[in-house]
Amino acid sequence: MESRYNYVVIEGNIGAGKTTLARHIAEDFNARLILEQFSDNPFLPKFYDDPVKYSFPLELSFLANRYKQLKDELEPQDLFKSFTVADYYFMKSLVFAASTLEGDEYNLYRQIFYIIYGSLPKPDIYVYLHLSPENLLKNIKKRGREYEAGITKEYLQSIQESYFAFFRQNPENKYLVIDVNNIDFVKDKVHYNKIVKTIFEGDYQAGLNTVML
């Protein structure tokens, strides 16, 4: 199967499986893979311990890191890869900031975000893996990252709402929301193939496109 896209983004809430899916697609399609570099962020563990104090420096550091990574990795051409697939996009910065920042801090952050946002290449399609907060918490528990232990269902719900708010506010982009609550594409190859077929064989328009698997 060939890709009709040059640049595909796999998005989703914490624990949705976006990195796993992006890795598999990159391997199967000989695609260039971009993975978010977040494990070295010194503010992340501090944020989970004290969100009020560390939310603004955390979001600013993510904004800077994501911009630099995408700018560095998207600009060079790779003639030996069929297309690019990433497990996040720059919009993730605004999505999470909407759930962690308030008032003047969020307004300032939003201004900075949109100034930078326009200078980055846009994906051909945004794929959003949709899971309920309950199922997300199960996945988070399975992978056992210590700094994620305090994540709540309410926080995951707020992140989910922020994603869909961004989709509605930026309808010029092409969004494919895939409900994966009833499948396990990590362990089941049939389920994985269904997702791949949904992404690369479907004909989608700008705006929100929803598929339940």
Cα–Cα distance, 156 to 26 (Å, whole number) = 27
Is residue 124 part of the annotated active site? The answer reads no
Query: Residue 49's pLDDT band (boundaries 50, 70, 90)?
Result: confident
Region 60-85: what's the mean pLDDT?
A: 89
Tokens of 125: 């399609």
Average confidence score pLDDT of the chain? 92
pLDDT at 127 exceeding the cut of 70: yes
- HEC string of 77-145? CCCCCCCEEECCCCHHHHHHHHHHCCHHHHHHHHHHHHHHHCCCCCCCEEEEEECCHHHHHHHHHHHCC
Tokens of 35: 């993975």
Model pTM?
0.90
Looking at residue 81, its pLDDT comes to 84
Which of 71, 92, 100 lies closest to 10 in space, CA to CA? Answer: 92
What amino acid is encoded at 84 in this protein? Answer: T
pLDDT, tens only, 13-23 = 999 999 999 99
Domain architecture of the chain: domains with CATH: 7-212 (3.40.50.300)
Looking at residue 99, its pLDDT comes to 87
Query: Residue 39's pLDDT band (boundaries 50, 70, 90)?
Result: low
Which of 36, 18, 19, 8 lies closest to 180 in space, CA to CA? Answer: 18
Per 3-state DSSP, the chain is made up of helix, strand and coil in percentages (nearest 5) of 55, 15, 35
Looking at residue 87, its pLDDT comes to 96
Looking at residue 79, its pLDDT comes to 75
Tokens of 148: 């994620």
Q: Which of residues 47 and 126 earns the better pLDDT score?
A: 126
pLDDT at 37 exceeding the cut of 90: no
Query: Residue 1's pLDDT band (boundaries 50, 70, 90)?
Result: low
DSSP state of 32: E
Region 93-105: what's the mean pLDDT?
A: 93
Cα–Cα distance, 75 to 27 (Å, whole number) = 21
Query: Residue 150's pLDDT band (boundaries 50, 70, 90)?
Result: confident
Region 66-79: what's the mean pLDDT?
A: 88
- Which listed residue (28, 87, 184, 203) is catalytic? 87
Q: Which helix (H) or strand (E) holds 207?
A: strand 207-212
